[in-house]
A = this chain, B = another copy of it.
Amino acid sequence: MTKQFSSVWTREERPPKAPGLSRDQIVRAALDLLDAEGVEGLSMRKLGARLNAGATSIYWHVANKDELLELCYDRVWVDVVVLDPETAHWRPALSTFAHSLRSTILRHPWLARLLGRIPGLGPNLLSVSDRIMRLMQRAGFEGLEISFATGTVMAYVMGQTIPEVTWRETMGKQEIQPGDLMNILEKTTADDFPELFAAFRDTRDMDPLETQRMSFSYGLECVLDGLEARVNA
């Protein structure tokens, strides 16, 4: 075996810097950017830079920024846990689903901004919906109630978690403690809203994260109780 002559001129040109961009690669980079800097931090130019590409190269793989966001949005649903519809009991399955969805949203706070903007049509979200509906159908729900019940749980989780994210972000950005905020508000408006501030005071000495978790679980049990009352009606 003889060593071959080697130089730039003899070596075949490699496929230009990796096989070029792929949609998958773009979405992964976008997710990184979203997790690191939020929706506001994701721009086509920054994303291009992170991929060592021109900003406008992305438009070959994706029609526009909204489509890119649809892809990102759908991607996170792979992490949401839905127990096996064939074997799990519907109530604990719905409960783990709800907590799993909540923690996914809290892990990717930018989701809170997309829920009012992106229609959920991706395969991962559809798959989650389908599994939950199978769960409900096996539980004894029938006809329209299958999707109504499913929608109720999803609505509750999102509605509870979105403002939760908004709070965490504003607290974080302003570097303020919930207690401080309460003190500021209290001075100006406590007299006008007695019941509201009474409730604030009740939670003053509690860990706000723990309070939010309790609040979430409380409402979830309400919803599940309401469903349970209908399951055999």
Contacts A116-B116, A222-B223; A195 near B146 (Cβ below 8 A) = yes
How many chain A residues sit at the interface, stated as a range, is: 35 or more
The yes or no answer to A140 lying at the interface (CB within 8 A) is: no
Bound Cα distance A116, B65 (Å): 19
- One of A17-25, A50-58, A153-161 at the interface: A153-161
Residues A121 and B166 in contact, CB atoms below 8 Å apart = no
Contact of A151 among B112, B120, B162, B219 (CB under 8 A): B219
Q: Which residues of B contact A199 (CB under 8 A)?
A: 133, 144, 146-147
Residue in contact with A159 in the complex, picked from B117, B119, B154, CB distance below 8 Å: B154
Q: Is A59 located at the chain interface by the 8 A CB criterion? A: no
Bound Cα distance from A223 to B218, whole angstroms: 11
**Are B119 and A116 interface neighbours, CB within 8 A?**
no
What residue of chain B has the Cβ atom nearest to residue A193's Cβ?
A: B130
A223 CB contact (under 8 Å) in B117, B165, B226: B226
Complex interface: chain B residues within 8 A of A214 (CB): 144, 148
Contact bitstring A125-169, B, C-beta under 8 A = 1, else 0 = 011011001100100000111111101101111111011011100
Q: Are B127 and A215 in contact (CB under 8 A)?
A: no
- Complex: A77 Cα to B195 Cα, angstroms: 18
Residues in B neighbouring A119, C-beta threshold 8 A: 163, 166-167, 170
Could you name 22 residue pairs across A and B whose Cβ atoms are closer than 8 Å? A112-B117, A113-B113, A115-B116, A115-B163, A116-B165, A123-B192, A126-B196, A127-B193, A129-B193, A137-B195, A144-B202, A148-B215, A151-B219, A152-B218, A155-B159, A156-B219, A159-B159, A162-B162, A222-B229, A222-B230, A223-B223, A225-B226
